[in-house]
Structures are given as C-alpha cells and as structure tokens.
Copies of this chain bind each other. A is one copy, B any other.
Amino acid sequence: MVLTKFGIIKQFILNKIEAGTWPQNAKVPSENELAEQFNVSRMTARRALQELTEQGVLVRTQGAGTFVATFKSQSSLLEINNIADEVSARGHHHRAKQIKLCGVTVDDEIAILLGCHSGSDAFYSEILHLENDVPIQLEQRYVNNKLVPTYLEQDFNEITPHEFLSSVAPLTEASHEIEAVLAPIDLCKHLDIEMHQPCLQVKRRTWARQGVVSVAILTSPGNRYRLGGHIKVSTA
C-alpha cells in the first residue's frame, strides 16, 4: 500500500488528537504550517484538513483557523451490517440461514455499484437472519470475486458474511440508502410476512482499501426492525 502525502498528514493529526496532545477546541496547524512542516504544497496540506473536516474531526473558520471538533459525530449506521452483534446485545439468540451461495453474472446496476463490467462474474449470497427464530432480515449480497476469491467456500450458517468479509478485507467506507418498500413475493415468503407489509430496505455498498468489496440489500419487515442512531453535532 502506497501512502498518499495527504493521508500521512491526516494520520499525523489524528494521532495528535488520539493521544490527547490536541484536545477538543485546540487549534491545529494552519495550511501553511503543515505545508512547510511536511514539505508539501499548500493544496496538499489543505486536502488533509479538508477531509478531516468533512469527517467531522475538525472545524474550520475562514480567517480564524482550524480546530479540533467538540463532539465527534458518531453513527450507528456503520454497524448496520452487524446484525448478529445487535441481536446478541439485546440478549436474544441470533441465527443465520444460508439460502443461496453461488456465482452470478452481474447486470448493469450491480456492475456499476461493484465497480466491475456489466456481464462479468461476481459472487452472490442470500442469508436469512433470525432473532429468537423469528425472521428479521434478508441479506442479499453481491461480492467482488477478485477481492474475495474464497467467498464461495464459506458456510454462512456458521459465520456471517460481514464477519467473514471483515476478516479478509477490512471495511474502510460504506454508503447507504434507506427506503420503505413492499417486498417482492419471494422475499415475503422467506421473511414470513404478508405482501402488503411495509419493509425497511437498506442498500449498502462497502469499500476496503482495494476498492468496492460488496453491495448488500438488506430487507426487514417494518414491524420487526428499526434503525436507530444518535448524533452529536460539533459546535463552537
């Protein structure tokens, strides 16, 4: 892995904050100071500060400077994938049932999301998650077969795709879309619900360093599952 210059500067800043050297509201070096210190152009130093600001780690004010944010915005969205832990945390029993595990030819939509070509091959898994033996989520997942060549050799009754993927290609990024939908009839059967029952559907794309690892479509009956989150806004 080749490190970028702005990545090195980001890590430097994160380390200082992590170590407590720069506490909340502390002023961090200016673009010019970082540029000189790391012997890079101002634009490169700027990019490091900019990305940490977008991540909610820093707060910037024109004319005044760049500061460590007061609260770090946290999101439980990152943990959406980890339904096994979530169920366990409620003191309930989690079980996963592998419905499908195979290779597929990807269509246009999935190809773009996975960052591969339409018509190329990928792996596909379909897993039903149960909480105390009640179905709470159907996980349909397309996996990049180049990044995870051993995916089809797993037994997803024993380990969740999320756990397995985390072990071979640690998550670095994720994006989600959350929608309310009516599930198609085959999904209704798996989830043991009526067709008119609203479902929460999360489409999630996950990245590792090497690129897009997988695209998951998570469908849950509206009356058995909800998402929650708590966010603290960085304030001055």
Contacts and interface: CB of A to CB of B under 8 A. Distances in A.
Interface of A: 3, 7-8, 10-11, 14, 24-25, 54-57, 59, 61, 67, 69-75, 77-78, 108-109, 112-113, 115, 170-182, 196, 198-201, 203, 209, 220-222, 226-236
B226 A178 contact: yes
B198 A228 contact: no
A120 to B, nearest CB: 13
Contact of A230 (B59, B73, B173, B234): B173
Contacts of A11: 236
A232 B205 CA distance: 12
B174 A231 contact: yes
B7 A236 contact: yes
A180 B196 CA distance: 12
Given A73-B78, A231-B173, A112 B25 contact: yes
Contacts of A220: 180
Given A78-B231, A177-B226, 17 more contacts: A3-B236, A55-B234, A56-B175, A71-B173, A71-B203, A73-B175, A77-B77, A171-B233, A172-B232, A173-B231, A174-B231, A176-B230, A178-B227, A180-B198, A180-B221, A182-B222, A198-B198
Contact of A198 (B171, B199, B230): B199
Contacts of A196: 182, 196
A180 B200 contact: yes
Given A10-B236, A109-B70, A200 B178 contact: yes
B235 A172 contact: yes
Nearest to A176: B229
Contact of A180 (B71, B172, B173, B180): B180
B75 A222 contact: no
A26 to B, nearest CB: 11
A233 B115 CA distance: 20
A229 B175 contact: yes
Contacts of A69: 112
A28 B79 CA distance: 27
Counting chain B CB atoms within 10 Å of each CB, the highest count among A61, A69, A226 belongs to A226
B113 A70 contact: yes
* Chain B CB within 10 A, most for which of A8, A10, A209, A222: A222
